[in-house]
Amino acid sequence: MKQVKEIHQLPPEQRVTFDQLSLHGQSVREIFARLNIDIRNASVLDTFLRNVDRLAARWREGNGQNVREMIDCTTAMRVFDAILAAQDDVSAIDCYHRIARKDVDLFSSIPSQGKDALWELQLLKELKSRGMNALLSEPDINVFVDEMTFPIACKKIYSINNLEGQLRSAGTQIKKSGGGGIVALNIDAQLPQNHLIVASRNNASRTLVRETENFLANNQSLFRRMFAAGKFDAVLVSVSCPVDNDDVRPRFNVATETLIWCPSGICSLESQARAEAFRAAMKLPLYPS
């Protein structure tokens, strides 16, 4: 007898309809208007805002969407959610300006101040969603766990050729904040362009975990040199990708995997203790030393 695949329905709080996505876009417009931030005409953000309105209208008329449009919707959702999650943080204004005027095409590997700013807001949202006390502050984000402060320098890795420079820059930022911090790397641009994972929920997760682990393994000697030089306490690596989950409804979602690394034997005992406190608070998997 053929086994019937179990289909998981996402709970209502994790579902976003086209009308809801359009309303989120309207909220973004209202936030930027209140802050006197102009969204550059024909920018990626402007295109997202117009497209979600158009798709919502088409959906109400009974017309469907193609795969490309669904992928674009998941990207628009990521951008809108990051903006909305930071609306009460007065320090988000600089990020908002960069997002409004610069490229936020998450499928492009071309460096952009807009995508750099978006990564800061995305990580801030993720930290807060895990119940952590976090705010936008130099170097990029500060997180408070018990009586410890963790300065975080956020870097998007567009090219492996620039990885060492980005790590050195992060180390300098953290040092100016008093030292003892975390470099948070987003490696979305290391995935193939226009990447879409078509898999079950578990297999999609395993695919992204493998990407983060391979990234650390392939660049391990560089990271170890940075740790040995005392540049930072730990490195956090995160990757996200649109997913067509064949065992989840709605099918189109975004999968994210994040891990943290602080190699024993290289990092000081103090750094290891701080990294473990942060990891435990954020409930992250630890990359093995």
pLDDT digits (tens, 9 = 90+) for 19-61: 999 999 999 999 999 999 999 999 999 999 999 999 999 989 9
Cross-strand bridge partners of residue 153: 183
Same domain assignment for residues 144 and 25: no
Residue 200: the pLDDT is 85
Residue 205: the pLDDT is 92
Q: Tell me the DSSP string of 215-239.
A: HHHHTHHHHHHHHHTT--SEEEEEE
Half-sphere exposure of 180 (CA within 13 A, CB side): 17
Same domain assignment for residues 177 and 266: yes
Nearest to 147 by CA among 2, 267, 281, 13: 281
Q: List pLDDT tens digits, range 144-196.
A: 998 899 999 999 999 999 999 999 999 999 999 887 899 999 999 998 877 78
Same domain assignment for residues 76 and 164: no
pTM attached to this predicted model: 0.93
Same domain assignment for residues 146 and 287: yes
Cα-Cα end-to-end distance for the chain? 45
Amino acid symbol at 274: R
On average, the pLDDT of the chain sits at 92
The pair of structure tokens assigned to 272 is 């290891």
Q: Tell me the DSSP string of 7-58.
A: PEEPPGGG---HHHHHHHHHHHHHHHHHTTPPPPTTSHHHHHHHHHHHHHHH
Residue 3: the pLDDT is 59
Last residue of a domain, which of 56, 84, 105?
Answer: 105
Residue 233, pLDDT > 80, answer yes
DSSP label of 90: G
Residue 2, pLDDT > 60, answer no
Q: Kindly state whether residue 121 falls inside one of the protein's structural domains.
A: no
What's the burial of 14, exposed, middle or buried (CB within 10 Å: 0-12/13-18/19+)? exposed
Confirm if 103 and 114 have CB atoms less than 8 A apart: yes
Residue 179: the pLDDT is 74
Same domain assignment for residues 160 and 100: no
Same domain assignment for residues 70 and 141: no
Q: List pLDDT tens digits, range 90-136.
A: 999 999 999 999 999 988 889 999 999 999 999 999 999 999 999 99
Same domain assignment for residues 95 and 225: no
Residue 62, pLDDT > 90, answer no
Q: Kindly state whether residue 112 falls inside one of the protein's structural domains.
A: no
Question: 236 in the Ramachandran plot: left (φ > 0), alpha (ψ -120 to 50) or beta?
Answer: beta
Nearest to 190 by CA among 212, 207, 172, 206: 212
Could you tell me the residue range of the domain that residue 286 belongs to?
137-289
Residue 289: the pLDDT is 65
Residue 43: the pLDDT is 93
Residue 64: the pLDDT is 80
Residue 4, pLDDT > 70, answer no
Between 76 and 194, the higher pLDDT residue: 76
Residue 50: the pLDDT is 97
Residue 126: the pLDDT is 96
Structural domain count, the chain: 2
Provide the pairing of β-strand 182-186 with 148-156: parallel
